[in-house]
Each structure stands twice: as structure tokens, then as C-alpha cells.
């Protein structure tokens, strides 16, 4: 492994410092060496070693502004904001043109949620700094804290104008555009950015994401592909390209892109699942099943994997196998409403009525508030002759789905079955008012009710009144 001179010097300093700690011999370091050592340990999360280095550094260089500023950083990290501010004021009296003093003061005010003051201090820092990019980035972050996305975006753009290779600035600009729902403007900005920096894989990747969001899948796929040309190990770009190619129904190419992610990194359950889905679209059923099985083996907690296998067998009308896999999924997670809904659907197809009722009930209890789930559930109750329970469930459903003709026709049917004519007519009238074309729901689900003369007369009167 090759290191540049700075990295080599830092490693020598670290070795020398750690050797000194082991032998208890006091060795001399210049103040900048101490700063590098302290910042290294902070980056590594070794606060105790950083504090030891700071203590020794200040003993050897008691007047070093650089070390005192590092001390301020550590005080801020430890939430000793008043002490940090006091030390900064002392340093300001000595070096009023040191931009780092303003930056650290801004950091303190930011932590106190006084973001406007922090911005003012950072603007002062700009006057004394040569590194404007970093300060514009910090100003942008303060505006993010204030939820002023427009000003945040402007400052992140200024950051990139100073240093177009600032990756965090680029991500932040795109984030602001997206949050402001300015996706097209974001793409236009990235085009101008790419003109300046055509080999930025991040810019191409972000362009791809934005195109994908706008359903411009061809442009998205091209952008992701260009990102992989620049960085051949960009796993995320291969994954996103696969998704775009799926949307374009270019399934063989999508498989190739997903496979690239597996070659570069450990297989992810998501990539395996998508490969399975692509094979199924291509009619390669055996391959699809192989990859669905790999998906659940890789991540047994990924519900999409179990659902893919279950739905695969349902489409083949192999309900026994589908039931086997959905039961395996429920053994792992019996609180998953999607599993219970499939359990119900499969049992209904197999004419296991009581099991189907349990499945739909559990799905609703666990938060499945899709209208069709409620309707399937009450239709099973109808088959089981549970008229009162059916009514209670439909009344509950009306709270979530008011003015739904499907619910009103079913309520009418249940009340008529219980010979509650007045209530039946009330709900039948509601249903006909909402959607008279689907009156055949009564015929399909409640044939004995449909055959009643009184019901046919009521329907005829409604048609004539229209």
C-alpha cells in the first residue's frame, strides 16, 4: 500500500506517540504533530487517547492557538459550551482574524439552536478564510436546521463553485432540490455541473436517480451506466440501473446489472429477489424459483422474499405449495399482515373457509386497511352465515371507507337476511344512490335476497325515480 508523505509522517508521529505512552518517556512533538495525532484519535472515536495527546501537547506548547482550538472542539464535543466559548473569547483577543475561532463559535451557537447567529459568525469567517467551500457548506447546513431549503441550496451551490469536487456539497444540493420538489431544476443543475466535472460518478448517479423519479427510465439507465464506467465498483449504480432496466422491460440486461452487484459485494437479498422477478418475467420459472429460495435463505426476515415465493405458486395455482411457504413465513413472523392476507387468500382458494376468515381477521387486526381485505373478510362471514358479525365488521369498515357502495350493498344484504327490512332498504338506497350500476353485487353475494319481490320492487322504483 502506498502512502503520500503527509500520511507517512502522520503514521510515524502516531507510532512515536504510542511508543512514548508505553515507555513513559517524554518525547518532543511540534504543535502541528499534536494536532494531527489528536484529530486522528477523535476520528477513530478514541477520546481518552485524544485527551492525553492534548494534555501533553499543551504542556509542550502552552501558547499554541491551534492546540487550544482543538481543545475547544473537544469541549464542544463534551457539551462544555460555556467553557469553550470563554476560551474562544480569549483566543479572539489574541487572533481576531483567525477564521477557525468564528467557525467554532458558530458551532456553539448552532448547538444552542441559535442558527441565525451561527450564520452571521460563519459569514464573518468568510472574510478571513481561504477555504470558502467548507464555510459555505457549513452555512448551508445551518439553513437546513432552520428549514430554509432555498437559502441552504444557494449556499451549497456556492460551495461547489469554490470546490466542484466537494462530494457532501453535491449530495446536499440535490437533497435541497428534491425537498423543494424541483427535480427538473436539479437535473438542469447537474448537467451544468457535469459539464465542469464530467468524470463525477456521483453526479451521474444522482442524475439517474432524478430521471428515475420522473419516470424517464431510458435516461436513468444511461446515467447509471455512465456512473459505472467511471467507477467500475459502484455497486449502488449497478443496482439502480437494474431497477431502471426492469421498468424498460429489458429483463436480461437487468439480471446482468444485478449480477454485477453480487460479483462486487456479498449477495444482497434485494438483488437476489430482483433477479428472481426478472427470470419470472422472462418465463424462466425454475430460475425464478431458485433465486426466490436464495432470497429467503439470505434474509429470512425479508417479507418480500416469502411473498415472492408464495405468489409464484399462487400464480401456478399450486395452492398446497403456496400454503406451505406462507406458513413458513408466519412461523418466522406472525405479526406480518401481508402474510396473513395471503394465508387467507390461499385458504379461500382451497375452500378452507374458517382458516380464510382467521387470515383476513388477523390481517385487519394487524393494520391492513385495504378495502378489499375488509370485503373479502365479510364475504367469508356471509358464506359462514355469520350475519351479525358481518354487519358489525362493515359498520367498522364504514369509519375508514365512508360512502363506499361495496359496503352499503353488503350491509343491505345482511340486514335482509336477518329480515330487517327497514335497515335493508336504508342501506340499499344508499348503495343505489352511490352506484346503481353495481346492484348485481346483491345478486352475486345474496341470491336469496335478490330473488325477493320486495327487493326487486325497491330497485325498480329507484330506476324509475331516476
Longest dimension (CA), the chain: 106
Count of CB atoms situated within 10 Å of the CB of 20 = 15
Task: Report the pLDDT value the prediction gives residue 157, as an integer from 0 to 100.
Answer: 96
How does residue 45 score in pLDDT terms, banded at 50, 70 and 90? confident
Question: Alpha carbon of 453 to those of 57, 211, 438: distances in Å?
Answer: 99, 60, 19
Cell reading at 368: 391492513
d(CA 275, CA 244): 13
DSSP string covering 25-89: ------HHHHHHHHHHHHHTT-HHHHHHHHHHHHHH-TT-HHHHHHHHHHHHHTT-HHHHHHHHH
> Looking at 34-48, 179-193, 352-366, 401-415, which range is the least confident one?
34-48
d(CA 339, CA 305): 11
- CB-count burial class (<10 Å; 0-12, 13-18, 19+) for 366: middle
Give yes or no for residue 92 having a pLDDT over 60: yes
Q: Write down the mean pLDDT value for the chain.
A: 90
| 233-257: pLDDT as tens digits | 999 999 999 999 999 999 999 999 9
Give yes or no for residue 9 having a pLDDT over 50: yes
Region 427-433: mean pLDDT is 95
Contact 291, 275 (CB under 8 A): yes
Task: Report the pLDDT value the prediction gives residue 30, as an integer from 0 to 100.
Answer: 72
Region 122-135: mean pLDDT is 91
- Helix axis angle, 371-384 relative to 387-400, nearest 10°? 170
How does residue 43 score in pLDDT terms, banded at 50, 70 and 90? confident
Contact 119, 142 (CB under 8 A): yes
Count of CB atoms situated within 10 Å of the CB of 11 = 12
Cell reading at 71: 481543545
Contact 337, 363 (CB under 8 A): yes
Task: Report the pLDDT value the prediction gives residue 6, as an integer from 0 to 100.
Answer: 61
Phi, psi (deg, nearest 5) at residue 165: -100, 10
Task: Report the pLDDT value the prediction gives residue 63, as an integer from 0 to 100.
Answer: 77
- Helix axis angle, 81-94 relative to 99-111, nearest 10°? 160
Task: Report the pLDDT value the prediction gives residue 1, as an integer from 0 to 100.
Answer: 40
Task: Report the pLDDT value the prediction gives residue 466, as an integer from 0 to 100.
Answer: 64
Check residues 465 and 122 and name the one with the higher pLDDT. 122
How does residue 10 score in pLDDT terms, banded at 50, 70 and 90? low
d(CA 46, CA 442): 72
Contact 26, 20 (CB under 8 A): yes
Phi, psi (deg, nearest 5) at residue 437: -65, -30
Give yes or no for residue 367 having a pLDDT over 60: yes
Task: Report the pLDDT value the prediction gives residue 87, as an integer from 0 to 100.
Answer: 85
Task: Report the pLDDT value the prediction gives residue 275, as an integer from 0 to 100.
Answer: 97
Task: Report the pLDDT value the prediction gives residue 7, as an integer from 0 to 100.
Answer: 66
pTM: 0.76
Contacts of residue 421, defined as CB under 8 A and 6 or more positions apart, other chains included, come to 415, 454
**Residue in 261, 299, 254, 296 with CA at minimum distance from that of residue 278:** 254
How does residue 355 score in pLDDT terms, banded at 50, 70 and 90? very high
d(CA 133, CA 158): 7
Q: If phi over 0 gives left and psi between -120 and 50 gives alpha, with beta otherwise, what is residue 455?
A: alpha
Amino acid at each position: 500500500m502506498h502512502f503520500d508523505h503527509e500520511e507517512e509522517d502522520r503514521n510515524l508521529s502516531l507510532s512515536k506517540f504510542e511508543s512514548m505512552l508505553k515507555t513513559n518517556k517524554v518525547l518532543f512533538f511540534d504543535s502541528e504533530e499534536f494536532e494531527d495525532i489528536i484529530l486522528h484519535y477523535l476520528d477513530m472515536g478514541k477520546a481518552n487517547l485524544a485527551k492525553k495527546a492534548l494534555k501533553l501537547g499543551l504542556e509542550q506548547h502552552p501558547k499554541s492557538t491551534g492546540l487550544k482550538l482543538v481543545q475547544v472542539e473537544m469541549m464542544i464535543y463534551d457539551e462544555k459550551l460555556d467553557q469553550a466559548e470563554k476560551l474562544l473569547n480569549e483566543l479572539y483577543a489574541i487572533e481576531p482574524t483567525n477564521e477557525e475561532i468564528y467557525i467554532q463559535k458558530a458551532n456553539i451557537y448552532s448547538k444552542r439552536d441559535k442558527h441565525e447567529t451561527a450564520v452571521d459568525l460563519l459569514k464573518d469567517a468568510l472574510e478571513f478564510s481561504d477555504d470558502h467551500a467548507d464555510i459555505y457548506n457549513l452555512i448551508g447546513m445551518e439553513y437546513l436546521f432552520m428549514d430554509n431549503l432555498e437559502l441552504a441550496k444557494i449556499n451549497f451551490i456556492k460551495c461547489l463553485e469554490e470546490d466542484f469536487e466537494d462530494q457532501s456539497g453535491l449530495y446536499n444540493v440535490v437533497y435541497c432540490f428534491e425537498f423543494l420538489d424541483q427535480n427538473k431544476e436539479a437535473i438542469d443543475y447537474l448537467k451544468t455541473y457535469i459539464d465542469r466535472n464530467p468524470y463525477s460518478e456521483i453526479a451521474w448517479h444522482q442524475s439517474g436517480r432524478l430521471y428515475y423519479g420522473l419516470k424517464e427510465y431510458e435516461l436513468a439507465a444511461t446515467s447509471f451506466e455512465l456512473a459505472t464506467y467511471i467507477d467500475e465498483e459502484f455497486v449502488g449504480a449497478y443496482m439502480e440501473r437494474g431497477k431502471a432496466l426492469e421498468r424498460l422491460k429489458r429483463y436480461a440486461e437487468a439480471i446482468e446489472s444485478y449480477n454485477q452487484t453480487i460479483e462486487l459485494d456479498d449477495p444482497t437479498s434485494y438483488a437476489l429477489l430482483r433477479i428472481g422477478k426478472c427470470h419470472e418475467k422472462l418465463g424462466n420459472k425454475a430460475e425464478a424459483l431458485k433465486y426466490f429460495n436464495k432470497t429467503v435463505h439470505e434474509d429470512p426476515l425479508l417479507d418480500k422474499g416469502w411473498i415472492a415465493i408464495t405468489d409464484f405458486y399462487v400464480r401456478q395455482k399450486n395452492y398446497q405449495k403456496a400454503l406451505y411457504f406462507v406458513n413458513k413465513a408466519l412461523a418466522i413472523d406472525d405479526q406480518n399482515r401481508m402474510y396473513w392476507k395471503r394465508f387467507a387468500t390461499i385458504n379461500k382458494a382451497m375452500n378452507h373457509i374458517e382458516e380464510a376468515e382467521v387470515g383476513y381477521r388477523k390481517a385487519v387486526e394487524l393494520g391492513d386497511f385495504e378495502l378489499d381485505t375488509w370485503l373479502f373478510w365479510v364475504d367469508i362471514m356471509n358464506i359462514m352465515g355469520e350475519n351479525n358479525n358481518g354487519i358489525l365488521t362493515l359498520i367498522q369498515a364504514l369509519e375508514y371507507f365512508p360512502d363506499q357502495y361495496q359496503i352499503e350493498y353488503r350491509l343491505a344484504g345482511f340486514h335482509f337476511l336477518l329480515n330487517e327490512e327497514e335497515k335493508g332498504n336504508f342501506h340499499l338506497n344508499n348503495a343505489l344512490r352511490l352506484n346503481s350500476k353495481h346492484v348485481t353485487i346483491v345478486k352475486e353475494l345474496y341470491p336469496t335476497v335478490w330473488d325477493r319481490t320486495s327487493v326487486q320492487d325497491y330497485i325498480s322504483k329507484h330506476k324509475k325515480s331516476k
